[in-house]
Structure 1
Amino acid sequence: MVQNLAPNSIVWDADLKGFCARRQSGTTVSYLVKTRVAGRIRWIAIGRHGQPWTPETARKRALKILADPLAAETAAPSPLPAVMTVADAAQQFFATHGRKLKPRTIEGYQRHHRIYIMPALGREPITALTRAQISKHHAAWSAHPRAANHALAYLSKLLNWAEAQGYRPEGSNPVPRIERYHENRRERFLTSEELGRLGTALVQADTECLVSPSALAAIRLLIFTGARLNEILTLKWSYVDLERRMIFLPDSKTGQKPIILNDAALEVLAARPRLVGNPYVITGHRDGASLVNLQKPWRAIRAKAGLDDVRLHDLRHTFASIAVASGGSLPILGRQLGHSQPQTTQRYAHLADDPVRQLTETTGQTLAQALKPLGSP
């Protein structure tokens, strides 16, 4: 209907008062809002018919204008391209929505956009992106299933944002209907023997000055607290309450988070120097800065311990496995680890059987011994 408007004509929206489409003497159809600003009639332009402005997207924009026409009239118009591509939408997404996200989330989104989305779909119109297109490229990323799934999650977030901005019709995001790759979660727990080798390697690394004291302290805190790597590297003394044996993180991956400190963790903290002008517990090489990269020291220590396949994050898994095997409940463990979803902690549920299995085995051996005939060895 809009594209068939006669020259010098206007069609008004039947439901949204003040919103219209107008064609003047040429072939262009424009969307406008007629409203009062400071007591005077004003015409506020939305844009020309075509991508990204359709009747639906223009109507959403009109609703925002009518909610605050003064702000809409005085604000500088957003420079929208004639055809809004995925690359264009991503640029606006990071500029406007990015401030609501955590820095590490933005970093991940930008990496997935640069490596996967931009080369494959960057030039495609955001309004025309289809399930078939996305599925085709997702299939092409099969060599990296985990990264492919993460890229798909980012794209879904981008398309949901595009819908909220009126660049796509509501409910048109095709990503949720695309099947993800199955991911085999890698959960590596250190055994008692491996922990002994790691402990020996830490002592030797300290004696031989193989890595810095800050790196050693960071690794020990990861082991004794089950905290995430970034939580330890960015830990400030102002977050630490030694008297209450607690760490209070104002922000983490899942928001505010308390960490209860055991004696071993307290001993590590007590040995750390407090440097004037540096707020961090794990200090870096630069004045006032924290340690940034723990991977290189960790590679040296794990090589000395013969644990080349162990990642720093596996220390967190090991803390959890020891806690559950020692009789700790999953809800309490989830609180210590800072899990926002119970199903995240549920991955350790099978370890809760270990004490029961040990008790059952001991009981069975006692009963078997008692049932032996008299006089038998």
Structure 2
Amino acid sequence: MQTRFLDGFVMPETTTRLTKRAVDQALPGPSRYILWDSDISGFGIRIETSGKKTYIVRYRPKGLGRTAPKRFMTIGRHGHLTPDQARAQAQNILGAVAVGSDPAAQVAAAKAAMIVKDAIDLYLKEHVNPKRKERTALEYTSALKRHVIPEIGNRPAEKVTRADLLKLHHKMKDSPIQANRTLSIVSSLYTFLGKREIVPEGYNPVRGIDKYPEQGRERYLTSEELGRLGAALIEAETIGLPWQVDETKPKAKHLAAPENRRTKPEPAAIAALRLLLFTGARLREILHLRWQEVDLERGMAFLPDSKTGRKPLMFSNVALEVLKSLPKNSVYVIEGAKKDQPRADLKKPWAAIQLRASLEGVRLHDLRHTFASIGTGASLGLPIVGKLLGHTQPRTTARYAHLDADPLRRAADLISTQISSAMERA
């Protein structure tokens, strides 16, 4: 028997032997429907309007009587399972029902029993760690374990409400960017849980929560600040940076003479800071750069795995001079503490340089912003600056558009000059 819909769509027979050919030929209709198997009673495939096809099994628990409602269990998606594999699973489920089990109730109880902490462990193990970059995985892990688990870790995952997450979001109001980021991570967690059918698909308690407004964190060094930074770098690599000594402390008199109270940062650290300035690269792109990726003759490097995937890194003449000055004692351009290991960070040398140059509050990442601001201010064009920075999306570079003042200034000059000339003629 066939069912014809009002728009002329003809649904395949509602009962047929479920073979691969029969399932592949089953077309979506204006509403979802179930195509039942003719061989095994209760085994079928649900076809959504989107075309999604899911194997299911329907049964009535033994001993509850013929008036008891039937239960449905999802077996799996067509494509992930063949009809024969799904049929075998259906037979196992129906066999368990025949001896008095209620598989759907058992699965429902197991899902309801999964608490948020266990759901997070599963999410990190099966989704985040294998599919996200290492630093992103660390960020996800930190946010979930520092903020989410202490707040709702022991709650059943399916029982978490929007009110629970509003409370968590409010507690983090003093760190709005971190609060918003945590919400996004929890949203991703629930999308994963829905796909695993641990919570109902589409259930996401984050939905509908307004995020805090975020102030832009871009900081651009002025020409005068760049001058102070350059002077501090030269001082650091020549005579060293002066110690910060409180002469009022009793132990100050036992220190070296004032003219000897200087420390030279490691040359590799100073070189790394210069490369960050001259390339606009991200910190890890410089610290993890290997000599085998550098082509000095062509003035570029080919990064196999940056934040945005594979990308070329262009070196200016001044950046090339920095590279040529470095020894090749390691596989890494910037030597780490251990041989052939990348340097972990630049926190201490940058703190010393930052203090000497009076650049309080300037982050290492602001050197990248400065590189971008100078490029856009020189009217090089956002596509070119975006290529240099390795942006994959134009909107990422577009945040620097307000710095491109030269075209606007020329336009303002042109308009005002014509107005002034007309006024003079009058």
- TM-score normalised by L of structure 1: 0.78
Q: 1:238 to 1:44 in 2, by over 3 A?
A: farther
- For residues 315 and 40 of structure 1, the distance between their equivalents in structure 2, rounded to whole angstroms, comes to 61
**Letter aligned with residue 154 of structure 2:** R
In the TM superposition, residue 49 of structure 1 has moved relative to its aligned partner by 3.6
Contact 2:219 2:369 in 1 (8 A): yes
**Letter aligned with residue 403 of structure 2:** L
Q: Could you tell me which residue of structure 2 aligns to residue 216 of structure 1?
A: 270
1:115 is aligned to 2:139: no
Contact 1:11 1:22 in 2 (8 A): no
Q: Could you tell me which residue of structure 2 aligns to residue 330 of structure 1?
A: 382
In the TM superposition, residue 184 of structure 1 has moved relative to its aligned partner by 0.4
1:53 is aligned to 2:108: yes
- For residues 11 and 151 of structure 1, the distance between their equivalents in structure 2, rounded to whole angstroms, comes to 47
1:306 aligns with one of 325, 347, 358: 358
In the TM superposition, residue 183 of structure 1 has moved relative to its aligned partner by 0.5
In the TM superposition, residue 12 of structure 1 has moved relative to its aligned partner by 2.8
1:23 aligns with one of 53, 57, 61: 61
1:87 aligns with one of 110, 117, 120: 117
SS at 1:23 equivalent = coil
Contact 2:111 2:199 in 1 (8 A): no
SS at 1:53 equivalent = helix
In the TM superposition, residue 206 of structure 1 has moved relative to its aligned partner by 0.6
Q: 1:40 to 1:322 in 2, by over 3 A?
A: closer
- For residues 327 and 40 of structure 1, the distance between their equivalents in structure 2, rounded to whole angstroms, comes to 66
**Letter aligned with residue 293 of structure 2:** Y
In the TM superposition, residue 22 of structure 1 has moved relative to its aligned partner by 5.9
Q: Could you tell me which residue of structure 1 aligns to residue 218 of structure 2?
A: 187
In the TM superposition, residue 354 of structure 1 has moved relative to its aligned partner by 4.0
**Letter aligned with residue 132 of structure 1:** A
1:361-376 → structure 2 map (5 Å cutoff)? none
- For residues 41 and 260 of structure 1, the distance between their equivalents in structure 2, rounded to whole angstroms, comes to 56
1:269 is aligned to 2:323: yes
Q: Could you tell me which residue of structure 1 aligns to residue 130 of structure 2?
A: 99
Q: Could you tell me which residue of structure 2 aligns to residue 73 of structure 1?
A: none
In the TM superposition, residue 133 of structure 1 has moved relative to its aligned partner by 2.1
In the TM superposition, residue 20 of structure 1 has moved relative to its aligned partner by 3.6
- For residues 51 and 296 of structure 1, the distance between their equivalents in structure 2, rounded to whole angstroms, comes to 56
SS at 1:177 equivalent = coil
- Cα-to-partner distance string for 1:219-245 (whole Å, 9 max, x where unaligned): 001000001111111111121111111
Q: 1:203 to 1:363 in 2, by over 3 A?
A: farther
SS at 2:154 equivalent = coil
1:352 is aligned to 2:401: no
CA RMSD of aligned residues (A): 3.4
- For residues 346 and 40 of structure 1, the distance between their equivalents in structure 2, rounded to whole angstroms, comes to 55
Percent identity over the alignment is 42
SS at 2:306 equivalent = coil
Q: 1:303 to 1:111 in 2, by over 3 A?
A: same
Larger radius of gyration: 2
In the TM superposition, residue 288 of structure 1 has moved relative to its aligned partner by 1.3
- Cα-to-partner distance string for 1:182-203 (whole Å, 9 max, x where unaligned): 0101111101111010000001
1:3-14 → structure 2 map (5 Å cutoff)? 12=42
1:277-296 → structure 2 map (5 Å cutoff)? 278-296=330-348
Q: 1:50 to 1:317 in 2, by over 3 A?
A: farther
Contact 1:51 1:127 in 2 (8 A): no
- Cα-to-partner distance string for 1:44-66 (whole Å, 9 max, x where unaligned): 45984458638xxxxxxxxxxxx
SS at 1:19 equivalent = strand
1:130-279 → structure 2 map (5 Å cutoff)? 130-207=161-238, 208=240, 209-275=263-329, 278-279=330-331
In the TM superposition, residue 353 of structure 1 has moved relative to its aligned partner by 1.2
Q: 1:252 to 1:42 in 2, by over 3 A?
A: same
- For residues 42 and 361 of structure 1, the distance between their equivalents in structure 2, rounded to whole angstroms, comes to 77
5+ long unaligned stretches in structure 1 = 1-9, 55-79, 373-377
- For residues 322 and 50 of structure 1, the distance between their equivalents in structure 2, rounded to whole angstroms, comes to 64
- For residues 339 and 300 of structure 2, the distance between their equivalents in structure 1, rounded to whole angstroms, comes to 27
- For residues 189 and 131 of structure 2, the distance between their equivalents in structure 1, rounded to whole angstroms, comes to 14
**Letter aligned with residue 392 of structure 2:** S
Higher RCO, 1 or 2 (CA under 8 Å, sep at least 6)?
Answer: 1
Contact 2:326 2:333 in 1 (8 A): yes
Q: 1:244 to 1:91 in 2, by over 3 A?
A: same
- Cα-to-partner distance string for 1:4-52 (whole Å, 9 max, x where unaligned): xxxxxx99365456624463569xx89596x856x98984459844586
- For residues 281 and 310 of structure 2, the distance between their equivalents in structure 1, rounded to whole angstroms, comes to 13
In the TM superposition, residue 120 of structure 1 has moved relative to its aligned partner by 1.2
**Letter aligned with residue 198 of structure 2:** Y
- Cα-to-partner distance string for 1:339-364 (whole Å, 9 max, x where unaligned): 12212111111111146537967998
- Cα-to-partner distance string for 1:252-293 (whole Å, 9 max, x where unaligned): 111111111110111111111111xx3110111111111112
5+ long unaligned stretches in structure 2 = 1-39, 47-54, 65-70, 76-82, 97-101, 241-262
- For residues 306 and 360 of structure 1, the distance between their equivalents in structure 2, rounded to whole angstroms, comes to 36
Q: Could you tell me which residue of structure 2 aligns to residue 75 of structure 1?
A: none
Contact 1:163 1:169 in 2 (8 A): yes
Q: 1:107 to 1:349 in 2, by over 3 A?
A: same
Query: How many pairs were matched up?
Result: 332
